[in-house]
Amino acid sequence: MSVAPARRLRGKDLVGIDPLTAPEIQLILDTADEMAKIAERPIKKVPALRGKTVVNLFLEPSTRTRFSFEMAEKRLSADSLSFSSSGTSVEKGETLLDTARNLEAMQPDFIVMRHRYAGSPHWLAKLLKSSVINAGDGAHEHPTQALLDAMTIRRRLGRLEGLTVAIVGDLEHSRVVRSNVLLLQRMGATVRVAGPPSLVPAQMEAMGCEVHHRMEDAIAGADVVMMLRIQLERQGKMNFPTVREYYDFFALTPERLRLAKRGCLVMHPGPMNRGVEIDSRVADGPQSVILEQVTNGVAVRMAVLYLLAGGNGEPTAD
Ligand code: CP
């Protein structure tokens, strides 16, 4: 499947992968490849978003997403401010809608938001004039994570089409898996998923994934193995007997990695539970691209901001 890239994004927001066409995804990835060149320069800054204002509204914890959005905004010369629940009127009980309306009254161009409720960015995007970017909504979607994962795979393996990607772990509570399945399938990849039955929602089969409950079956011959974090904070109860047992059946170890295709990429969105879903010898091994994912996250977020702003002019011009 060779798609001609789109010239621009159609929507004002990026709240999920589903509304994006394959040409739009290709446009974002091609633009991110250009944005990545800025990080190679002595002065890592261009004026592409000068005069634009971004509010980073993070009402759930984040390290990679929050700081890479902030880095992306600075590299594009946008003015940005970051908002978390601690130290703001959210602590006094102000609602999300009132918070967002008050922030929008200050006329920002973008609101980048992370929230524990699935669908909250979609809801706000309909109510606000600002462009809303979903930085993770509950266990629903994390579109910029899927885009940076796709960028990482494409830069390493040269394509997405025809690849087999195995996603293993806590699928039930993962927003990363939903966005990745939508994106990878749209770009012509096959997605296998694996996890204990208690952590594999029926939705995975309905989304067209190959579902496995033996990790070995999912990773055999795979081009990419993407490990997901066990999200104990989202589980009301333990969905498996013990962490030790989970490691024995579902951790990516050097022995299991040998079942995948030679040169298979090892990915993880972070934060990792070392010794639970991934062995440190693999996480820090030669096939790991986990820190490249973080690096590419800045470029992808620059591309999304730039394109949603209209994508005018040469993005990488000084
Ligand atoms: N991958 C990811 O979303 O990490 P953070 O929760 O640290 O942002």
pTM for this prediction? 0.95
pLDDT at 6: 83
The 10 Å Cβ neighbour count of residue 10 is: 9
Ligand 1 pocket check: which of 58, 60, 63 to mutate, most ligand atoms within 8 Å of Cβ?
Answer: 63
Kindly report the protein residue whose alpha carbon is nearest to atom 6 of ligand 1. 62
CA dist list (Å): 209 to 149, 169, 197, 218, 246: 18, 14, 15, 11, 22
Record the tokens describing residue 311, joined without a space: 């994508």
Report pLDDT digits (tens) over 11-70. 999 999 999 999 999 999 999 999 999 999 999 999 999 999 999 999 999 999 999 999
Confidence of residue 239 (pLDDT cuts 50, 70, 90): confident
H or E stretch at 192: strand 190-194
Q: What is the pLDDT of residue 235?
A: 66
pLDDT tens track for 65-77: 999 999 999 999 9
Confidence of residue 259 (pLDDT cuts 50, 70, 90): very high
Cα–Cα distance measured from residue 251 to residue 243, given in angstroms and rounded to the nearest whole number:
10
pLDDT (tens digit per residue) in 270-293 = 999 999 999 999 999 999 999 999
> Which residues are near ligand 1 (CB < 6 Å)?
62-66, 136, 145, 269-271
Is the predicted pLDDT of residue 315 greater than 90, yes or no? no
The predicted pLDDT at position 314 comes to 67
